Amino acid sequence: MTYPISSVGELIGEPARTAILIALLDGDSLPAGELARLSGISAQSASAHLSKLVAGGLLIPQNNGRHRNYRITGPEVVHALEALGAIATLPRPTSALRSRGDIEISHARSCYDHLAGHLAVEVTKALQNLKVIRTRGARDYTLGPKGPAWFADPNINVLALGCSRRTFARRCLDWTERKPHLAGALGAALFSRMLDAGWIVRRRGTRALRVTHRGARELQTRFGLIA
């Protein structure tokens, strides 16, 4: 095939396979039966689609006792899906009616292992304004002059993250905001810390997140944001 990207586009372009990938965007692994239910297809169809996604390198199977679960291969697949979402989703007029679920997903959600949505974009902008991070090239962030000291307080070891094999700090295009948010090892560490500290909590049955009262205080104190 002259352009390998076309094979990936064919994999993602099938609606059932798109639904499967979106169901796994929170970073969890799920069995075939649950993915079939979430995608609205039969178990037989799900099995065929999952085989293609695994063969195409977009999903990884994991044995879980007598069952087999599936998860997204890694953050690069997520970045591609987010970018495609930004291209495919037309901007909505501010006056357009939206469901509560749409509003919650747009405000704050998990994107694999990092924060996404309006909150993520605002947090990223605040970190740049505070000189904690700064852009590097077209795809990445790096630490700003105040970065090491700032991340020391929430107990994030930026030196260890910089030595990992994963991209340190990636600019991930947010599909609802059409602006970048922080991903990569640093974005994942910050998201994990926000969850562990109780600043944000997961909403049941969705990728949407809710800011707690404590989180609202921390966001205002640390980022100057009103959640």
For residue 10, the domain's CATH number is: 1.10.10.10
Q: In terms of domains, do 34 and 98 share one?
A: no
pLDDT in tens, the chain (227 residues): 556 778 888 888 899 999 999 889 887 889 999 999 989 999 999 999 999 999 999 999 998 777 889 999 988 888 788 778 777 766 655 555 568 878 899 999 998 899 999 999 999 999 999 999 999 998 999 999 999 999 999 899 999 998 888 899 999 989 889 899 999 999 999 999 999 999 999 998 888 999 999 999 999 999 999 87
Backbone angles phi, psi at 63, to 5 degrees: -75, 130
User: What is the number of structural domains in the chain?
Assistant: 2
Residue 86: inside a domain: no
In a domain, 196, yes or no: yes
Assess if residue 78 is contained within a domain. no
User: What per-residue string of b and e applies to 183-210 under the rule 16 or more CB within 10 Å gives b?
Assistant: bbbbbbbbbeebbeeebbeeeeeebbbe
Residue 110 lies in a domain: yes
The closest alpha carbon to 222, from 155, 158, 151, 162, belongs to 151
Residues 31 and 62 in one domain: yes
Q: Is residue 137 part of a domain?
A: yes
For residues 100 and 202, state if they share a domain: yes
Q: How far is CA 18 from CA 70, 126, 214, in A?
A: 14, 33, 36
Are 174 and 210 in the same domain? yes
User: Is 83 part of any domain?
Assistant: no
Which domain covers residue 150, as residue numbers? Answer: 91-223
For residues 207 and 156, membership in a common domain is answered with yes
Last residue of a domain, one of 38, 73, 108: 73
